C-alpha cells in the first residue's frame, strides 16, 4: 500500500466518522443550542477546509463560525469541502505528497516553543488533518455523552470491520 492509498483510506474514514457524529447531532434537536458542539464541529471542518486551501495554493478566506445560522449549515459546508477534498486527492500524484508545504500559522510555533518549526510535507499535513479531526471528534463525542446522548463508535478499526462504509 503506497502513501496516497493510506491517506485516502484515512480521509475516507474521517468522512465516515464525521458523518456518524452528524447522525447523532441531527437526531437530537436539543443539541442545536449547544455552543460547545457547534464550536467543535465548526473547528473540525474549518481545519479540513483550510488545509485543502493550503494544498491547492488558494487564498485562506473562510466563513466565520457566527456566519452559520445553525448546525445544518455547518454540515452542508463540510459536505461541499469533502467533495473538493476527494477530487483533490484523486488528482494528487504520489510525488506531490513530498512537496514542502508552508503553513501560515506555523510561525506561532516559534513563539510558543522557542524554536523555528521544521519543514513539513503535504503528506505530513494530510496526516495532521486526519489525526486532528480524530482528536476533536472525540471531544465532540464526550460532549454528546455529557448531554445524555450515545456517541457513535468511530474508531478506524470499527470502520474496517464494517467493510469501510461510505459516509
pLDDT tens per residue, range 71-129: 999 999 999 999 999 999 999 999 999 999 999 988 888 888 888 899 999 999 999 99
Say whether pLDDT at 5 is over 90. Answer: yes
In a domain, 15, yes or no: yes
pTM of the entire structure? 0.94
Weakest mean pLDDT among 10-24, 48-62, 100-114, 137-151: 100-114
Range of the domain at 131: 3-161
CATH number, domain of 155, equals: 1.20.120.450
Q: In this structure, what is the dihedral angle of CA atoms 72, 28, 65, 113, given to the nearest 10 degrees? A: -130
In a domain, 167, yes or no: no
In a domain, 98, yes or no: yes
pLDDT at 106: 87
pLDDT at 30: 85
Pair 125, 51: CB distance under 8 Å: yes
pLDDT digits (tens, 9 = 90+) for 138-162: 999 999 999 999 999 999 999 999 9
Counted domains in the chain? 1
pLDDT at 33: 86
Task: Give mean pLDDT, residues 37-44.
Answer: 97
Contacts of 61 (CB under 8 A, 6+ apart): none
CA–CA separation, 77 vs 96, rounded Å?
26
pLDDT at 108: 84
In a domain, 21, yes or no: yes
pLDDT at 107: 82
CA-only gyration radius of the chain, Å = 16
Helix/strand number for the chain, H first, E second: 6, 2
Pair 23, 152: CB distance under 8 Å: yes
| Terminal Cα-to-Cα distance of the chain (whole angstroms) | 23
CB atoms within 10 A of CB 15: 20
CA–CA separation, 46 vs 65, rounded Å?
9
Say whether pLDDT at 132 is over 90. Answer: yes
In a domain, 166, yes or no: no
pLDDT at 49: 98
Q: In this structure, what is the dihedral angle of CA atoms 131, 129, 127, 145, given to the nearest 10 degrees? A: 20
Q: Name the β-bridge partners of 100.
A: 121
CB atoms within 10 A of CB 115: 8
Amino acid at each position: 500500500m503506497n502513501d496516497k492509498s493510506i491517506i485516502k483510506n484515512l480521509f475516507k474514514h474521517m468522512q465516515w466518522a464525521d458523518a456518524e457524529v452528524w447522525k447523532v447531532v441531527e437526531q437530537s434537536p436539543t443539541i442545536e443550542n449547544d455552543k460547545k458542539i457547534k464550536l467543535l464541529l465548526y473547528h473540525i471542518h474549518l481545519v479540513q477546509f483550510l488545509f485543502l486551501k493550503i494544498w491547492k495554493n488558494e487564498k485562506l478566506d473562510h466563513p466565520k463560525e457566527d456566519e452559520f445560522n445553525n448546525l445544518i449549515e455547518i454540515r452542508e459546508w463540510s459536505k461541499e469541502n469533502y467533495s473538493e477534498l476527494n477530487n483533490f486527492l484523486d488528482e494528487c500524484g504520489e510525488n506531490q505528497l513530498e512537496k514542502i508545504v508552508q503553513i501560515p500559522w506555523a510561525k506561532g510555533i516559534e513563539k510558543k516553543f522557542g524554536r523555528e518549526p521544521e519543514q513539513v510535507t503535504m503528506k505530513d499535513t494530510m496526516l495532521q488533518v486526519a489525526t486532528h479531526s480524530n482528536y476533536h471528534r472525540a471531544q465532540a463525542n464526550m460532549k454528546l455523552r455529557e448531554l445524555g446522548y450515545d456517541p457513535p463508535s468511530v474508531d478506524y478499526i470499527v470502520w474496517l470491520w464494517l467493510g469501510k462504509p461510505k459516509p
